[in-house]
Structure 1
Amino acid sequence: MNLQARRGTASVQLLCQLGEELGVSTAACLRDTGLDEALLADPLAEITAGQELHLVRNLVARIGSGPGPGVLAGQRYHLTSYGIWGFGLVSSPSLRSAVELGIHYLDLTFAFARIWLEEVEGEARLRLDGSHLPEDVRVFLLERDAAAIATLQRELFDTPLPQRRVCFRHSPPEDLGPYRQVFTIMPTFNQPQDLAAFDARLLDLPLPQANSHTRRLCEAQCRDLLVRRRARAGIAGQVREQLLAAAADMPDMERVAQALHVSSRTLRRQLEAQDTSFRALVEEVRQALAEEMLRAGGFSVEEVAARLGYAEVASFIHAFRRWTGITPGTFARHARAGL
């Protein structure tokens, strides 16, 4: 989890509003975050994921870390809360296309959970993973992100999407009312996975506001915004430049440390101070280069895998799906079609 990742202020505004309704002042929510109410009122301002996480911890410390409040938070996240990312979803030709766009540009949202799509035996499953999240806010953030997904699905169709099941790993709360209201069915708790599942045939339903021109425009703007937000400063930026310069023969940490005239131990410590790691930067560079080659065309999946240093194509495909939620072949087809 990159706590230095940039994001908009809409989410912290919504969380402060929830706090006020639950008896927690905005000042208490903002304590020690480095944020103030003037910044929250600026629609062009950006904060870090770490600042939002600190705010969530302030809120949860006062309302309790149990289940329930996360669902109340998630239903506040409307399509309009996400800016250009939300417009991209609305203008997509189908639910499948919207889900793939949404997952690919998930870093433009306020989600903290890792989210990906699985299709298993006629069932579409949106999986959520919060294993990397701090324990004191894990339930809140998982429920918030799951409820936000349900809210987005409802707004894409102007009606709730029929769910087969919604599952949470944690124990149920006493008050289950908000869950039925948001998810339309009662979730099951103490399950092995966090997920929302529906009939896979619904993925190919056309969206009522589909517009191919708007979709292409939104995706281009999402791509540009993501590049700007991922721009690295400091030592992380220097490491990224070294990796990009030698992408065909991706250097290890020792080589990069030598090029930057520091020890590998010092480099590791400096990257940790920026809430990242050498491995995370390697993954970031590989993803950016893979997308660039697949979007440009002229390279097969096998060639892209080889150019990025993967010994096996299957390993590259697995990594690309983990990064984007879709396979490199699907990404390339969408790029050629302008989706």
Structure 2
Amino acid sequence: MAFVRAMVLAYAARGMDPVRALQAAQIAPEEVSHPRARITAAQMEAVSDAAMRELDDEGLGCFSRPLPWGSYGMLARASLSAPTLGTALKRWCRHHGLITDDVALALETVGDTARLTLRAHRRPQALTEFCVVSVLRNIHGLASWYVDSRIPLQGAQFPYSPPPHLDAYPVLFDGPATFEAGHAALAFDARYLGLPVKRDEAAMNQLLQRALPLTVRSYRRDRLLVQRVRQVLASQPLDAHNAEDLAALLNVSARTLHRQLRDEGASLQALKDEVRRQRATELLLRTRRPIKQVAQASGFQNEKSFIRAFRGWTGRSPGEWRSERTA
């Protein structure tokens, strides 16, 4: 409800009454001031849509000047022809600076991590949190739409103290959140930047008829999930023995993990076998480690289960397989 209160402040700044926007979302006026009140995603879409139209401001009072209806649609179109997500996001950040200089957006890449940063050029005010959350949710949602994939966050940081409604942040941003940072930022796997933009003009026209779900609702399908699972299994084999542990490392539920892998034509067991087999064969060929150590380094809890699995893969025990190839 804190975000609805921010919209009410935008109405007050214009000398306007928010009652119709609240009615459109079925939000009782007395609930707006309630510190523990919550609203649904559908209510957030409804009140935001009504407020943007009544105020003729897609920024909902966040910036020093209104962003007329269609501003964000114009930005989205300007990035549509980009070949990859990385290029699209760079264009978006650059063009956003043309419609308001209150904040500066940038895409930064360091190693395997990409960061979307937001730096405010105005002093903190009552709308700071709403502005930061809205802009970051907007660009994150659009990025996911461009490549038709969920883009899971490795972390999010914010330039203000933890709010009273801190428990809502895991819903808004799926990675760990930190506060009182120098600026706002979202961090994610840089491999997503190389995904091609999959949308066309027809898809854009359809999106702009009802774009708010991109900001309010999180994308579900992850086109890089198989790669991310392989990476975690290879880099943290001892921490990913079961689906629950692996899902926690990927910031998804075990049920979601299985469903999304199935949608991509993969299974967790098959990926485990693939990664473990590759790791085991490399260690058997390139090192003289005892079989027990190879088993542990490959993610097996004991030597017996490793030997059984290896026989299933190759028809040989690890020792026999190593001897045949190093003789």
Task: Give the TM-score normalised by the residue count of structure 1.
Answer: 0.39
Task: Kindly indicate whether structure 1 or structure 2 has the higher relative contact order, using CA contacts under 8 Å at least 6 residues apart.
Answer: 1
Task: Output the TM-score relative to the length of structure 2.
Answer: 0.41
